[in-house]
Structure 1
Amino acid sequence: MTATNKPDGDLARLHERLAHDAETRALIDVAYRTIDSPVGPLLVAASRHGLVRVAYQSEGFDGVLQTMADRISPRVLHAPARLDGAARELDEYFSGRRTSFDLPLDFALTRGFRAEVQRLLPTIAYGDTASYAELARAAGRPRAFRAVGSACATNPLPVVVPCHRVLRADGTLGGYVGGVEAKRTLLDLEASS
């Protein structure tokens, strides 16, 4: 490794070859990579079923990887090629050229009512917002607005599954897994398109 923590040329080529061989032999259950974005570095991960995780650096990438190893499979590997489509769509989104994602999604990291709410989030149109109470009503549980907040806070696919579009009833931002500034950045990006 060099001082920048990136593998030198030979090591990088070896890692790329090993990742390619593991991918073609179906030895990777979860592939991941990091991408740069206007809201900071994002870790994106995909299972064979689809995008399974988008994580902000503030969540701790090592902890996110460990959670996926514990809850999905220990066969987690930095194999960026599987995430090329996700990286492309996120880049298009951040540059204002994409208003919705066409990626297959894997909700393996969520269950129950949280999963129901997270599947509803993409129905909030690009550039629009909804309140926690409105989302609770849409989920058929009008008094469960706090549970909706919990579902948004634990969304394993922020940005792609747009929990940033959910606001408090008074129109204020509320919390966000990536921080309030990231939420404001995403909402401003969508408002300006």
Structure 2
Amino acid sequence: MIVTSVALNDIVYDDSSSPKADLLLASHVINNTAKLIWCNWLALDEHWQDKIKLKSLSKHYKFDADEVIFIAAEQLDANDEEQAVLLASIVQIQHYMQGLRSDFDLPIDTSSGTEFQQRVWNALQEIGYGETISYATLAQRVDNPKGFRAVANANGKNPFSVIIPCHRVISSDGKLGGYTGGLDKKAYLLALEGVRCKV
């Protein structure tokens, strides 16, 4: 598994309004194909080993945690399949943050989630750019109309913040609700997409 990080202020036009944070990304070869297996927020005071769920990922993908390699984004090699996935991810995230892209076309692997979590994550990918839905609506979309808490929990376990747009799910009253990366990041992503929510 290869891990990298990119500072948000390195990929946006106007970093004065962007949250001070990094995105942490990881790729791994699964069935002879390199895939993105992690993309989540990393606070400035967090170390990448503390943020990424190495133990559960190494158990699921069957690799030793000491085989994980961190490579700085500027040192990634496009000729290496795993590193090329990370580079493509960074470019697509950059284009999204700059308003040049509204969805993602990346080889992601969601198999680390339970069957229910994967259903929720698939449903999240059907929420359009600039659109928001409530947790209750999302619960209905995954055939669990009373399970809005379970849906919220699955959102919180989303291993692909930004790419699988859990930020587009808000409370029924129009307020932001929760977000694993922090509400500042959720508000920022929604604002990028032209959505304003109640505070």
- TM-score greater than 0.5 by the shorter chain: yes
Compared CA separation, residues 94 and 170, structure 1 to 2 (3 A): same
- Partner of residue 42, structure 1: 23
User: Which residues of structure 1 form unaligned runs of 5+?
Assistant: 1-29
Compared CA separation, residues 169 and 65, structure 1 to 2 (3 A): closer
Name the CA distance, whole Å, in 2 between partners of 1:70 and 1:77.
16
For the Cα contact (< 8 Å) 1:33–1:43, is it kept in 2? yes
Name the CA distance, whole Å, in 2 between partners of 1:156 and 1:60.
17
Give, in angstroms, the shift of residue 158 of structure 1. Answer: 0.7
Please give the secondary structure, in 2, of the residue aligned with 1:185: helix
Give, in angstroms, the shift of residue 111 of structure 1. Answer: 1.2
- Partner of residue 108, structure 2: 105
Name the CA distance, whole Å, in 1 between partners of 2:150 and 2:47.
24
Name the CA distance, whole Å, in 2 between partners of 1:66 and 1:46.
12
- Partner of residue 143, structure 1: 146
| Alignment counterpart, residue 52 of structure 1, candidates 29, 32, 37 | 37
- Partner of residue 58, structure 2: 69
Which amino acid is the alignment partner of residue 27 of structure 2?
A: A
Please give the secondary structure, in 2, of the residue aligned with 1:155: coil
Question: Identical aligned pairs, as a percentage?
Answer: 33
Deviation per CA, 1:129-159, whole angstroms, max 9, x where unpaired? 0110111111111111110000111101010
User: Which residues of structure 2 form unaligned runs of 5+?
Assistant: 9-17, 78-82
Name the CA distance, whole Å, in 2 between partners of 1:86 and 1:45.
10
For the Cα contact (< 8 Å) 1:129–1:167, is it kept in 2? yes
- Partner of residue 159, structure 2: 156
TM-score calculated relative to the size of structure 1? 0.79
| Alignment counterpart, residue 116 of structure 1, candidates 91, 116, 119 | 119
Give, in angstroms, the shift of residue 87 of structure 1. Answer: 0.7
Please give the secondary structure, in 2, of the residue aligned with 1:93: helix
TM-score calculated relative to the size of structure 2? 0.76
Please give the secondary structure, in 1, of the residue aligned with 2:125: helix
By percentage of residues, which structure has more helix?
A: 1
Give, in angstroms, the shift of residue 70 of structure 1. Answer: 4.2
Give, in angstroms, the shift of residue 112 of structure 1. Answer: 2.0
For the Cα contact (< 8 Å) 1:136–1:143, is it kept in 2? yes
For the Cα contact (< 8 Å) 2:111–2:118, is it kept in 1? no
Give, in angstroms, the shift of residue 114 of structure 1. Answer: 1.2
1:78 aligns with 2:70: yes
